[in-house]
Amino acid sequence: MKLPPSFYQSSDVVAISRNLLGKYLFTNIAGELTGGMIVETEAYNGAVDKASHAYGNKNTPRTQTMFMEGGIAYVYLCYGIHHLFNVVTSVAGEPHAVLIRAIVPTNGLDVMLLRKKMTKLKPNLTAGPGSVAKALGIDRSLNAFSLQSTEVWIEDRGIEIHPDDISAVPRIGVAYAAEDALLPYRFYVKGNQYVSKPNK
DNA sequence: TGAAGGATGATCT
DNA sequence: GATCATCCTTCAA
């Protein structure tokens, strides 16, 4: 059920981003199981991608996680407020990552609502990368955790997303990346209400 | 040692 | 649609 390490070690980060749609992301933090089905991702293509933190093989205390072997979590703080959860892919030394932008919540709804201080289920519970991390209780203490661990992992539950139901569009919030901002590296399940808002 | 700037989201008009 | 919350990372002196 858990995706094996080999799933993450392909050098085709764009294909992995596509394949992650329909997979299930779970966390088990402090005994609370939460998670859901991935419906939106973005690929960050390592050293040659101007939108990537590791563009030009920039290796810093923050980005060194991206240079590790595929199959671990890369978590960092954005705008001083939001934790963003990424999956590191490819082999050690090649800094590929997939940002998980939205999931359909399936497990631990009550816990996720509590974490976001919400009383009623609405799509914004897990729409958008900051929301996903907050609902799942993810913060930087999970950075570099293995996705084979008992705290955070991804499962294949046999869901197949038909290629016609997947849209590929430019990524969000990376206007600074010049021509790379136009690459169709954002993937989402068409019509799903949990996909984050911009150009749905 | 310091300053600038984010892979965003909630809230208000 | 505009604003703002809020803080770590990075790079320059």
Residue A103, domain CATH: 3.10.300.10
pLDDT in tens, A129-151: 999 999 999 999 999 999 999 99
Q: Is residue A162 part of a domain?
A: yes
Which residue type is seen at A150? T
Nucleotide nearest the Cα atom of A61 (by C1'): C9
Q: Is residue A194 part of a domain?
A: no
**Number of folded domains that form chain A:** 1
Taking CA atoms, A126 is separated from A96, A102, A148, A183, in Å, by 24, 6, 23, 25
Q: Is residue A196 part of a domain?
A: no
Range of the domain at A82: 5-189
Nucleotide nearest the Cα atom of A100 (by C1'): B7
Q: Is residue A197 part of a domain?
A: no
Q: Is residue A185 part of a domain?
A: yes
Nucleotide nearest the Cα atom of A49 (by C1'): B7
Residue A81 CB closer than 7 angstroms to strand B? yes
pLDDT in tens, A59-113: 999 999 999 999 999 999 999 999 999 999 999 999 999 999 999 999 999 999 9
Distance, CA of A15 to C1' of C7, in Å: 34
Distance, CA of A196 to C1' of B9, in Å: 11
**Contact between residue A65 and residue A88 where contact means Cβ atoms under 8 Å apart:** yes
pLDDT in tens, A175-198: 999 999 999 999 999 999 999 976
Q: Which residues of A85-96 are buried (b: 16+ CB within 10 A; e: fewer)?
A: bbbbbbeeebbb
For chain A, the three-class secondary structure string (H helix, E strand, C coil) is CECCHHHHCCCCHHHHHHHHCCCEEEEEECCEEEEEEEEEEEEEEHHHCCCCCCHHHCCCCCHHHHHCCCCEEEEEEECCCEEEEEEEECCCCCCEEEEEEEEEEEECHHHHHHHCCCCCCCHHHCECHHHHHHHCCCCHHHCCCECECCCEEEECCCCCCCHHHEEEECCCCCHHHHHHHHCCCEEEECCCCCCCCCCC
Residue A72 CB closer than 7 angstroms to strand B? no
Q: Is residue A53 part of a domain?
A: yes
Strand B contact nucleotides, protein CB < 7 Å? 5-10
Kindly state the average pLDDT of the residues A32-37.
98
Residue A113 CB closer than 7 angstroms to strand B? no
* The residue count for chain A: 200
CB < 7 A to strand C: residues 38-67, chain A: 53, 58, 60-63
Query: Closest protein residue to B5 using CA and C1' atoms?
Result: A79
Distance, CA of A101 to C1' of C4, in Å: 22
